[in-house]
Structure 1
Amino acid sequence: MTERVLGVDACAAGWVGMALDEAVTPYFAPRIHELVDAAAPVTVVAIDIPIGLADNGLRQADLLARQELGRRRSTLFMTPVRRALEAGTHAQATEINRRLTGKGVSIQAFALKPKILEVDRWVRRNPPYRVVEVHPELSFARMSGAPVPPKTTWAGAETRRRLLAGEGIHLTGDLGPAGANARVDDVLDAAAAAWTARRVARDQARCLPAPPETFTDRHPCAIWT
């Protein structure tokens, strides 16, 4: 029996997902739990959002992933500590994070605060499937054997489509609500996350760090490829 897995990426309107079994099935929902419930049953969910929030200091997952990305390391932001993400303003978050890690908080990272905390609450419910964190740039680099062009360029999008097709992940048609609500790069990132989810289900994936870190939230913290 072919395993059914789900790759997920955040988009402006909510969440976009790609389920893999014998086929590729797109999903869209405003909330993460709604998306996964719609795609169920699945064995692994791979999501491009931080899972496991540090109490102080920087996450090894982020440091190691940035090192592996090399010249493409700017595509991965450093995850703020939990207390910074719980702050009310960007200025407060930056002050807290700088005190606990020596680093500020990027505007991009703080803008993702609602999505990060949404996933944090969802994972705390102990869903009946495995949930792992991914970074699509690492997934595409693993497929390619080298970093790929920026996803916002035509060459980058075409390279990603070609790599996915080579792995049997063919994205065709308008993709329904997923295609209507998500940007091209969001769809491609969700598909790359699904590719990694399939590798996790087949025990073919590796994680950074190995073994994962754990903080007081007890979520295994690692980025999988």
Structure 2
Amino acid sequence: MLGGNFHSRPLVVGLDGFRNGWVAVSIDGDDHAISFPADISTALAAPFARAAIDMPIGMTDDGNRDCDQLARDKLTPHRSRVFTGARRWLWEEYTDPDEANIEASRRRQPRASRQLWHLGRKIMEVDAFVRAHRDLDIREAHPELVFLRLNGAPLPSKKTEQGAALRRALLIAAGFAEIDDWIGIARRGTGAKKDDVLDACAVALAACDCVGSVPEGEPPRDAHGVPMQIWF
């Protein structure tokens, strides 16, 4: 269940979070579709063969995961594109980031950045869903690792015109002929940004063709038995 490509191309789904919910991109053979569900349960309500999500899956008590460090190494010199430090206790025990970081310092752990803190609701949403649906093939993926695979070299920032254009071109070459309609029309009024759509497409490609992962092979598991492995 952990490896390989699909020869018959059954339905796969890629998910990227944004402020109002999720960008969900599905691939079913040559057919592609996009939607903007409010929650993970809705996004994954229909049967699927595999889903990939751009969000930490599996967490340690101190926030250190081998997969994060290996992903950062692959993306050098852009190591900061991989967030680190997700810990369940941050959001289970605290509602204020400053108080959570005081506790992190007391535990001699890294403090949570504001960007990581604000991802907490979605991280915990994914965590709860994955732990409640262990029979489903749901994997963590990182769009920047997918784009690195497609391009063969590090890309400029997705926030730049050059970086966005290159990611768009790579996705078109990978079969997403609809990408311009999706980033120009489909996302209007949803709150999703262009790069959210691009990232969801990349993660869907990871779900479709799991050609690599960090770490390789059987992954380590957290205290709840959830694998900690990033696919691309």
Taking structure 1 as the reference length, what is the TM-score of the superposition? 0.90
**Separation in structure 2 between the aligned mates of residue 98 and residue 64 of structure 1, nearest angstrom:** 25
**Separation in structure 2 between the aligned mates of residue 209 and residue 88 of structure 1, nearest angstrom:** 36
Q: Does 1:27 align with 2:38?
A: no
The structure-2 alpha-carbon separation of the partners of 1:85 and 1:67, relative to structure 1 and needing over 3 Å to count, comes to farther
Q: Does 1:95 align with 2:95?
A: no
Number of residue pairs aligned between Structure 1 and Structure 2: 220
**Separation in structure 2 between the aligned mates of residue 207 and residue 62 of structure 1, nearest angstrom:** 8
Given the alignment, which residue of 199, 203, 217 partners 2:209? 199
Q: Which residue of 1 aligns with 2:66?
A: 60
The answer to whether the Cα contact below 8 Å between 1:84 and 1:92 also exists between their aligned partners in 2 is: no
Q: Which residue of 2 aligns with 1:221?
A: 228
What is the Cα deviation at residue 130 of structure 1?
0.6
What SS does the aligned partner of 1:56 have?
coil
Q: Which residue of 2 aligns with 1:3?
A: 10
RMSD: 1.8
What is the Cα deviation at residue 127 of structure 1?
5.5
The structure-2 alpha-carbon separation of the partners of 1:57 and 1:209, relative to structure 1 and needing over 3 Å to count, comes to farther
**Separation in structure 1 between the aligned mates of residue 229 and residue 50 of structure 2, nearest angstrom:** 15
The structure-2 alpha-carbon separation of the partners of 1:208 and 1:6, relative to structure 1 and needing over 3 Å to count, comes to same
What SS does the aligned partner of 1:123 have?
helix
The structure-2 alpha-carbon separation of the partners of 1:128 and 1:215, relative to structure 1 and needing over 3 Å to count, comes to closer
Q: Which residue of 2 aligns with 1:142?
A: 149
Q: Which residue of 1 aligns with 2:56?
A: 50
The answer to whether the Cα contact below 8 Å between 2:85 and 2:110 also exists between their aligned partners in 1 is: no
**Separation in structure 2 between the aligned mates of residue 15 and residue 109 of structure 1, nearest angstrom:** 17
The answer to whether the Cα contact below 8 Å between 2:50 and 2:136 also exists between their aligned partners in 1 is: yes
**Separation in structure 1 between the aligned mates of residue 17 and residue 229 of structure 2, nearest angstrom:** 18
Q: Which residue of 1 aligns with 2:198?
A: 188
The answer to whether the Cα contact below 8 Å between 2:13 and 2:27 also exists between their aligned partners in 1 is: yes
Deviations 1:172-223 (A, max 9, x none): 42476545421100000000000100113xxx33333543221112111111
The structure-2 alpha-carbon separation of the partners of 1:168 and 1:77, relative to structure 1 and needing over 3 Å to count, comes to same
Residue range with higher mean Cα deviation, 184-193 or 85-94: 85-94
The answer to whether the Cα contact below 8 Å between 1:149 and 1:156 also exists between their aligned partners in 2 is: yes
Q: Does 1:83 align with 2:89?
A: yes
The structure-2 alpha-carbon separation of the partners of 1:98 and 1:209, relative to structure 1 and needing over 3 Å to count, comes to farther
Given the alignment, which residue of 23, 44, 48 partners 1:16? 23
Unaligned ranges ≥5, structure 1 = none
**Separation in structure 2 between the aligned mates of residue 71 and residue 15 of structure 1, nearest angstrom:** 29
Where is the helix percentage greater, Structure 1 or Structure 2? Answer: 1
What is the Cα deviation at residue 96 of structure 1?
3.1
Instruction: Give the partner amino acid of 1:109.
Output: L
Unaligned ranges ≥5, structure 2 = 1-7
Residue range with higher mean Cα deviation, 80-89 or 152-161: 80-89
Q: Which residue of 2 aligns with 1:154?
A: 161
The answer to whether the Cα contact below 8 Å between 1:174 and 1:180 also exists between their aligned partners in 2 is: no
Deviations 1:30-66 (A, max 9, x none): 11111122xx221111000000011235111111111
